[in-house]
Amino acid sequence: MKRLLFLQVTLLLLLALSDDVKGNGENDGQCKCGKDLALKPRPHSVSILEFGAVGDGKTLNTIAFQNAVFYLRSFADKGGAQLYVPPGRWLTGSFNLTSHLTLFLERNAVILGTQDSFEWQVIDPLPSYGRGIELPGGRHRSLINGYKLKDVVITGDNGTIDGQGSIWWEWYHSQSLNYSRPHLVELESSTDVVISNLTFLNAPAWSIHPVYCSNVHIQNITVYTPSNSPGTNGIVPDSSSDICIEDCYVSVGGDAISLKSGWDEYGIAYGKPTSNVYISRVYLQTSFGSALAFGSEMSGGISNVCAEQLHIRDSFTGIELKTARGRGGFVKDVGVSDVEMENIHVALGITGQCSDHPDDHFDPNAYPDISGITLKNVIGANISVAGELKGIPEDPFTSICLLNISLSMTSELSTSWVCSDVLGFSRSVSPEPCSDLQLPYSNSSSVCFSLLSPAGHAEAF
């Protein structure tokens, strides 16, 4: 009887709360893609063949791509244009895109990144990182680049962009890189970007890197790098807002989807968060990294992230938040729901102990603010560690919320939860979380934020 009453009171409380959440307007309608994806056909189209390109996998076509894009710039104010890449193997070094351009790869069209590092020029580091991620100083330009563009589409009929990154992984392992490795596609300070219907293979480092961008729609792509390729993150929205990632299959050596926003004092100074991110229906795999990662570079902040319908398999970590002293910034208002995990070492990881810093000038008193992290409706099979949650002693992470999570463990000897310097709420979580995560749920009102379905707070488990 007492229990029932408690439940009712909680329900009322939560209903009141859900009104609050609805009422503040901040998260209304965030849990979906911003804009509709109606791709208008371009009024003009030219084939890369018209620029002398040869699709034999041997001829270097960098100049052809550069010339084609240069030519198509003149159509920007005429509704834009399409650069058509027919079947063939089109070897190239780095090239730029332009505004109001569609790069279209026909089925069996493969753009191949050359393995000559001099065809990947060296450029300045990003201001929010202050240096290359792997080595101080500059970094190699990505294979396909956009800078300050508007209305760019990279699409096709399942064509392929293959970075042939193996040589870069070898240089990385043998420490013969002079600069940080390039990515496959990088769009910087651009808006209205669509990346769809393609396969991305063997990126030297990351596959898709929108940085300082807004309104980026990534749909129905496959991203693959071998599981032993070092640090090959898949899709990396970085200091970017209004990002939508749907129906993607990502299997890589690093983190599959990784949200970032700059590194320590550089990221803090640049101050550009990653916000309003929607992720849905994704299949993620990574043997050594995290399937969905926040950070560790998050110094510009990460907020309003809604991820649902995640399918995570054969991975080291399922969902992980990584940060450190010196990062500053924040990760707040994150809701992850409807997750299926199988064969995972650590289902949920939170760490405040990432030790890498860009240089010695980071501010050790710049603590990250971690709040409003909600994980709900998770079902997992063959999990070795349910959760490994380690905050920062001087800066405990105090608003973690776990709801309706059921993980079946690899063996009875499995460690279920390891917690330090974290506090949170949980409800219907098995195996039973550590006591730090068992604050009375009725107190969760200001904490258990969910972008997912505000009314969902009222669910009785």
Integer Cα distance of 345 and 316 in angstroms? 5
DSSP, residue by residue, 135-158 = SSS-EEPPSEEEES-EEEEEEESS
Task: Note whether 104 and 80 are within 8 A (CB).
Answer: no
- Stretch of residues binding ligand NAG (CB under 6 A), selected from 231-239, 278-286, 343-351, 364-372: 343-351
- Stretch of residues binding ligand NAG (CB under 6 A), selected from 15-23, 192-200, 262-270, 412-420: 192-200
Minimum gap (Å) between residue 158 Cβ and ligand NAG:
3
Residue nearest to ligand NAG (CB): 158
- Stretch of residues binding ligand NAG (CB under 6 A), selected from 14-22, 131-139, 194-202, 321-329: 194-202
281 Rama class: left (phi>0) / alpha (psi -120 to 50) / beta:
left
399 binds ligand NAG (CB under 6 A): no
402 binds ligand NAG (CB under 6 A): no
Q: Where would I find the H helices in 32-105? A: 62-72
404 binds ligand NAG (CB under 6 A): yes
According to DSSP, the β-strands at 330-351 and 302-322 are: parallel
Minimum gap (Å) between residue 85 Cβ and ligand NAG:
14
When the beta carbons of 182 and 328 are compared against ligand NAG, the nearer one is: 182
Among 244, 307, 439, 447, binds ligand NAG (CB under 6 A): 439
- Stretch of residues binding ligand NAG (CB under 6 A), selected from 25-33, 207-215, 322-330, 341-349: 341-349
Minimum gap (Å) between residue 101 Cβ and ligand NAG:
13
Q: Total residues at the site for ligand NAG (CB under 6 A)?
A: 35
Integer Cα distance of 119 and 140 in angstroms? 9
The count of other CB atoms within 10 Å of the CB of residue 313 is 18
Task: Note whether 194 and 217 are within 8 A (CB).
Answer: yes
Site for ligand NAG in 210-249 (CB under 6 A): 219-220, 247
Task: Note whether 251 and 228 are within 8 A (CB).
Answer: no
CA 413 from chain centre, in angstroms, equals 33
Minimum gap (Å) between residue 19 Cβ and ligand NAG:
18
- Stretch of residues binding ligand NAG (CB under 6 A), selected from 271-279, 319-327, 362-370, 374-382: 374-382
71 binds ligand NAG (CB under 6 A): no
- Stretch of residues binding ligand NAG (CB under 6 A), selected from 10-18, 152-160, 257-265, 319-327: 152-160
Integer Cα distance of 98 and 80 in angstroms? 10
Cα–Cα nearest to 310, from 343, 281, 345:
281
Burial class (CB within 10 angstroms; exposed 0-12, middle 13-18, buried 19+) of 172: buried
- Stretch of residues binding ligand NAG (CB under 6 A), selected from 190-198, 276-284, 319-327, 359-367: 190-198
Among 214, 353, 410, 453, binds ligand NAG (CB under 6 A): 410
- Per the listing, tokens 């104010």 go with 77
Backbone angles phi, psi at 435, to 5 degrees: -60, -25
When the beta carbons of 172 and 367 are compared against ligand NAG, the nearer one is: 172
443 binds ligand NAG (CB under 6 A): yes
Among 176, 355, 360, 412, binds ligand NAG (CB under 6 A): 176
Backbone angles phi, psi at 173, to 5 degrees: -65, -35
Integer Cα distance of 224 and 87 in angstroms? 20
Element (H, E) at 11: helix 2-23
Integer Cα distance of 299 and 382 in angstroms? 34
164 binds ligand NAG (CB under 6 A): no
Site for ligand NAG in 285-304 (CB under 6 A): none
When the beta carbons of 362 and 425 are compared against ligand NAG, the nearer one is: 425
Among 196, 215, 275, 317, binds ligand NAG (CB under 6 A): 196
User: Greatest CA separation found in the chain?
Assistant: 81
When the beta carbons of 106 and 459 are compared against ligand NAG, the nearer one is: 459
189 binds ligand NAG (CB under 6 A): no
96 binds ligand NAG (CB under 6 A): yes
Site for ligand NAG in 25-64 (CB under 6 A): 37, 39
| Six-digit token string for 350 | 């939170």
When the beta carbons of 395 and 459 are compared against ligand NAG, the nearer one is: 459
When the beta carbons of 162 and 333 are compared against ligand NAG, the nearer one is: 162
Integer Cα distance of 28 and 451 in angstroms? 8
Task: Note whether 194 and 39 are within 8 A (CB).
Answer: yes
Task: Note whether 447 and 417 are within 8 A (CB).
Answer: no
160 binds ligand NAG (CB under 6 A): yes
**Binding site residues, ligand NAG, CB under 6 A:** 37, 39, 66, 96, 117, 147, 155, 158, 160, 171, 176-178, 194, 196-197, 199, 219-220, 247, 338, 343-345, 377, 379, 382, 384, 404, 410, 439-440, 443, 459, 461
